[in-house]
Homo-oligomer: A and B are copies of this chain.
Amino acid sequence: MLSERRLEVLRAIVQDYVGTEEPVGSKALTERHKLGVSPATVRNDMAVLEDEGFIAQPHTSAGRIPTDKGYRLFVDRLAGVKPLSAPERRAIQNFLDSAVDLDDVVGRTVRLLAQLTRQVAVVQYPSLTRSTVRHVELLSLAPARLMLVLITDTGRVEQRMIDCPVPFGDTSLADLRARLNARVVGRRFSDVPLLVQELPESFDLEDRGTVTTVLATLLETLVEETEERLMIGGTANLTRFGHDFPLTIRPVLEALEEQVVLLRLLGEAEDSGMTVRIGHENAHEGLNSTSVVAVGYGSGDEAVAKLGVVGPTRMDYPGTMGAVRAVARYVGQILAES
């Protein structure tokens, strides 16, 4: 077990390193922090911290930098979540309030997060599986061509074209639309398959084929679009990464382009509470020198999607966590209102 002072030393190292981006030595530490002990003592503490794997030296006779394990301890035990200032909170609310539709909400959220944290922001669109159906619309575009439009309670809209096996009458269409809505409106997407199972049987034989096709498309949409969408922003902040640039930035940019990777990344975050993944804790190799701070957000108690930021392991964790939490909270509010 590490003594209180050693933890304090670790905290000081993390804070200084995050600020200066340079290995921090014992002397500088005692000058900048009121540790109440001499550099020599700090050196001893540092030696212990290094033995335990919390800090490391880039080379002999250089200062120490925190390891992933060191950041982990810092986040878990030494750092709180720094709340945003009142003006910041007001700015967030104002900015998000003027969003006109879901795309706009997500877009603004991304920009906001990127700006607040000065890192790369990732925002997932509200998930379909956890959303509920607000409305299903069927439009006849041509005699044997329908368009299916799915509207979620979070404002997301999905559409699909359907080619019918045989022309479908307007009354049948209205009928199907009404029955479909009666069954699924207000229900969760994940429940829809069961709810519409027996629908075709209640139709005339001649329409049954079309109804089946429509339902098949509906279910297919649910499955396909469960493959979620997301938006990223603030990639320009990657340039503040460090000196050894090209080497680190490349795999990160590549990872950011792979929606699948990002979705898995957010997916790994816990549903409630904030998740921080530091360096090698990230499964994806390209992100081994980054940390991910993610949190779920939603219109009610339950998270409908996640958002977060990706930045260098050397990041301001309390500040980042504060910003991420605050933004998630406000986005949730906006969604609940709409």
The verdict on A257 contacting chain B, using a C-beta distance below 8 Å, is yes
Known: A101-B160, A235-B257. 16 other contacts (CB 8 A): A100-B160, A101-B161, A103-B229, A135-B147, A137-B137, A137-B139, A137-B149, A235-B235, A235-B256, A236-B250, A236-B254, A236-B256, A236-B257, A239-B246, A239-B249, A245-B246
- What are 7 sample pairs from A and B whose C-beta atoms fall under 8 A apart? A101-B159, A134-B141, A137-B137, A137-B139, A141-B151, A235-B256, A245-B245
Residues 246-258 of chain A, each 1 if its beta carbon lies under 8 Å from chain B, else 0: 1001100110110
What is the minimal beta-carbon distance from A110 to any residue of chain B, in angstroms? Answer: 10
Residues 82-117 of chain A, each 1 if its beta carbon lies under 8 Å from chain B, else 0: 000000000000000000110100000000000000
A331 vs B103: C-alpha distance in the bound complex, in angstroms? 24
Range, interface on chain A: 20 to 34
A233 vs B232: C-alpha distance in the bound complex, in angstroms? 11
The verdict on A206 contacting chain B, using a C-beta distance below 8 Å, is no
Give the chain B neighbours of A250 by CB distance below 8 A.
236, 239
The verdict on A157 contacting chain B, using a C-beta distance below 8 Å, is yes
**Copies of this polypeptide in the complex:** 2
What is the minimal beta-carbon distance from A197 to any residue of chain B, in angstroms? Answer: 24
Which A residues lie at the B interface, using CB under 8 A?
100-101, 103, 134-135, 137, 139, 141, 147, 149, 151, 155, 157, 159-161, 224, 229, 233-236, 238-239, 245-246, 249-250, 253-254, 256-257, 338
A155 vs B235: C-alpha distance in the bound complex, in angstroms? 30
Give the chain B neighbours of A134 by CB distance below 8 A.
141
The 4 closest A-B pairs by CB, nearest first: A236-B253, A239-B250, A236-B254, A157-B159
Q: Which of A160, A246, A338 counts the most chain B CB atoms within 10 A? A: A246
Give the chain B neighbours of A137 by CB distance below 8 A.
137, 139, 149
